[in-house]
A = this chain, B = another copy of it.
Amino acid sequence: MPSLKDFEESVKRPTWCPGCGNYAMWRALKHALERLGLDFHEFVVVWGIGCHGNGADFLRCQGFHALHGRSLPVATGIALTNPELKVIVEAGDGDAYGLGLGHFVHSTRRNVDMTLIAHNNQIYGLTTGQVSPTSDHLMKTVSTPSGVLEWPVNPTGLAIAQEATFVARGFAGDIEQLTDLYVAAIEHPGFAVVDVFQPCVTWNKVNTFKWFRERVYKLEEKEGYDPTDREAAFVESLSTFHDLVCTPDECRVPTGVFLRIEGEETYQEGLEQLDGPMWRKAEAPRDVTAVMDEYLT
């Protein structure tokens, strides 16, 4: 099985800004892959477009660098045609919750067995710092100089409202927890969402590492928190809606597993015809006589 170093061999060195949260996420993913003991031919990683997506050049694997916002449907096409592959999606917040929001919610209710890791830096990194769908209310950016008038997308809340079976949140300041979350998510049968706060040190001067360090708490350490309780999970998700000036006491940000429901059927399990890689169906012409006969008069 490949080890940490193998995932970096013969690929490019990361070009993210020094201090960028993407480094931690990159490391955590490699740790998780190593811990899961996945061989190179057993998993596929799909990336969207953005700073996070540049990571496609930094990981040795079977990879697909898709369009901005469309990594989930590409991944779905992969997952629904080869059940022997683990499918991991790395998306940005713009990617997953902006123009890709529809795919996000539909993937959730579809419960396709695959994992979404969202690099949530609350900003458009690669396109130089415009508002993202998760930017805080009233944040000023180059595309919203008078302040963002929307409230941020609540990805965990949406997933929870939409019958998700695995919803978690990580923070790039905690690689260990992140690695655990990745492992749990990839092992989870069904659609697993890991929303990760990934500070963008260049464009987002509000939601910094420090900002988060002062505010995060772990759900697993919260007295009596039950990650199978959808309503409790929903309440935790509302922490998304803080404003720019909230103090560390006022706005607390949970990390960890919000929700984990075991035993739900995955989309793939519902597909009787998915009895192996679907390319096998094209090993020779298919016999269609019986179908054609329906048109015989």
Contacts and interface: CB of A to CB of B under 8 A. Distances in A.
Interface of A: 99-102, 105-106, 109-111, 133, 146-147, 149-154, 157-158, 160-163, 230-231, 234-235, 237-238, 241, 265, 267, 270-272
B106 A133 contact: yes
A146 B109 contact: no
Contacts of A111: 150-151
Nearest to A266: B149
Contact of A105 (B153, B234, B238): B153
Contact of A161 (B99, B133, B150, B234): B234
How many copies make up the complex?
A: 2
Nearest to A163: B151
22 contacts: A105-B158, A106-B150, A106-B153, A109-B133, A109-B150, A109-B152, A109-B153, A110-B149, A110-B150, A111-B151, A147-B270, A149-B267, A150-B267, A151-B163, A154-B161, A157-B162, A158-B158, A158-B161, A161-B161, A161-B237, A231-B235, A234-B234
A235 B230 CA distance: 9
Contacts of A149: 110, 265, 267, 270-271
Contacts of A109: 133, 150-153
A101 B162 CA distance: 12
A157 to B, nearest CB: 3
Contacts of A106: 101, 133, 150, 153
A110 B100 CA distance: 17
Nearest to A156: B161
Given A109-B152, A161-B234, 6 more contacts: A99-B102, A111-B151, A149-B270, A149-B271, A157-B161, A161-B161
The 4 closest A-B pairs by CB, nearest first: A157-B161, A102-B102, A149-B270, A101-B102
A146 B272 CA distance: 9
A114 to B, nearest CB: 14
A198 to B, nearest CB: 21
A134 to B, nearest CB: 10
A136 B49 CA distance: 34
A133 to B, nearest CB: 7
A152 B110 CA distance: 9
Given A234-B234, A238-B230, A272-B146, A158 B151 contact: no
